[in-house]
A and B are shown apart, each in its own frame.
Chain A
């Protein structure tokens, strides 16, 4: 199976129902600023991402990329500005309300359940956004969520490691599982926080194919230091510098931009 059919019909109709209130943009940030004391981690960030768009956010360490993610997921409230998710103002919403509206995120450092198997980790992620979280009854062999979890495990190419305890997975496999958890439920927009960090070249190309094979209706933002990965999966690029948006454009425009080369790509050193 491919990733194109991992979203069941029921979830799709729910997504369409929510989609009917949308103004056309998946994510819309207007003048978002986050201050830590006197330090502006991000300042006056205005950013629009269309549904299904894949955006890479690039920038050196401390450019404010992860802070941007934390504001979007609701881990931090922004000091000022508004955040709209599918047209709805979610600036003051708690994290789980945003998750229920189809937002997902992966973490830079894997936050997984080390004492449980791969299948159980994904099953929990599926269970978290549905009913029956407190059920004392074991899921039957024809349980919808068990089947859905198995699909997701396959989608991130972990079927062979399905019953392995997560603490015993390789680092690369943990990163793949991290993506499976983000795909649970009916995601419509995903934030990937440095998914390629620490991966081997083979695992990187695996990751690129997982990301490019995501169903077309799922948009995402990817923070990535590996330009090769970022520019292969993204359809548009935002460059950040010192907490501000510095440049936006297609991957080709960004690569060829003289200012970007000066600042980020190492001052035009062509090898």
Chain B
């Protein structure tokens, strides 16, 4: 019953993703897809809040970085003076829990505001975290942060090898995606969309609008936290720059470029972002420009997509599909 509505295109993409390590290079597996899945998950946590809850939060990257920091502090890292060396089955859940608590607290502050003020308050807390982490040496090890933060060697596998890391991130991304799709149709998810559309009526129907908004932050923070831990493992390090203001904004760009209305959007946005990040310096050098100008290219792409489709790449795709259906059957006006 769960699978009957899955279109063939999705099966094809699923099989392609599963078979990827058979033909893709290590660089593509680790750097392109591993990074895409991670950024997609953090973008997905923003999509859940913005698309279903109508709350644009800029705290998701900070929640992710905090989870990464907690893994470094509670687990092992290249800074043994600070790291506590807890086993993986303890430090990973506790890291996710702390990040989720932090996200919930920020949510409790942010849900009292609307629209632009939610963006401002979450951006303010995100920059406060950045400066705090940079200046705090006792816990966050200041400017340098933590290096040598590695995933546990479970089942005798080195999870930082390209193929295992690819499957690890793919599994986490797929699980997060499935969780968001599932919860969107649960009473909690439906009520959250009700709160987005009409908070006053939701209150009149007997729902607590504030509680639903805050719990949405909790749910989104768990996804961001898992993404943050994977990100720290991928780079083997975490520093204040992991959650710098540019990185915080990048998550917003990823979610908006991909499309904020559906859970697949942030993954599409993340793939576009990663491809531009990785290949634009070469492209720019080839046309005689400095490779450091890649942000210009990303910004320009962002402008073009948002200008032509406020719903991101997904919105473009849906427009294209609607037009094709219309041309197929002009008598029935596009809906067969």
- B-contacting residues of A (Cβ < 8 Å)? 95-96, 99-100, 105, 107, 111-116, 120-121, 123-125, 127-129, 132-139, 181, 184
Contact = CB atoms under 8 A, between A and B. Distances in A.
Contacts of A99: 204-206
Contact of B206 (A129, A134, A137): A129
A176 to B, nearest CB: 16
From B182, B202, B205, B207, name the one whose CB has the most chain A CB atoms within 10 angstroms.
B205
A105 B204 CA distance: 9
B207 A137 contact: no
B206 A113 contact: no
B186 A124 contact: no
A120 B197 CA distance: 12
Contacts of B206: 96, 99-100, 128-129, 133
Contacts of B202: 124, 128
Interface string B199-229: 0111111111001100100000000000000
Contacts of B189: 136
Interface in B184-200: 185-191, 193-194, 196-198, 200
Contacts of B193: 113, 115-116, 120
Nearest to B207: A128
A113 B198 contact: yes
A20 to B, nearest CB: 23
A128 B205 contact: yes
B32 to A, nearest CB: 33
B183 interface: yes
Instruction: State which size class the interface on B falls in.
Output: 20 to 34
Contacts of B204: 95-96, 99, 105, 111
Given A99-B206, A129-B206, A124 B194 contact: yes
A135 B201 contact: no
A124 B193 CA distance: 10
A112 to B, nearest CB: 7
Contacts of A125: 205
Given A134-B188, A136-B183, A137-B186, A124 B196 contact: no
Nearest to A166: B197
Nearest to A121: B194
B179 to A, nearest CB: 9
B201 A116 contact: no
Nearest to A114: B197
A123 B129 CA distance: 41
A259 B187 CA distance: 53
Nearest to A99: B206
Contacts of B183: 136
B47 to A, nearest CB: 14
A132 B207 CA distance: 11
Contacts of A115: 193, 196-197
Contacts of B205: 99, 124-125, 128-129, 181, 184
Contacts of B182: 138
Contacts of A100: 206
Nearest to A97: B206
A137 B182 CA distance: 8
Interface string B97-135: 000000000000000000000000000000000000000
A181 B183 CA distance: 23
Nearest to B189: A136
B203 A111 contact: no
Contacts of A127: 187, 190-191
Nearest to A126: B205
A96 B188 contact: no
A123 B186 contact: no
A134 B197 contact: no
A135 B188 contact: yes
A191 to B, nearest CB: 12
Contacts of B188: 133-136
A125 B207 CA distance: 9
B198 A136 contact: no
Given A112-B197, A136-B186, A137-B186, A124 B203 contact: no
Nearest to B187: A135
Contacts of B200: 111
Contacts of A123: 190
A125 B208 CA distance: 13
Identify which of B191, B202, B203 gathers the most chain A CB atoms within 10 Å of its CB. B191
A135 B198 contact: no
Contacts of B208: 133
Given A134-B191, A136-B186, 5 more contacts: A111-B198, A120-B193, A128-B207, A133-B191, A137-B186
A124 B211 contact: no
Contacts of A137: 186-187
A136 B188 CA distance: 6
A132 B198 CA distance: 20
A132 B201 contact: no
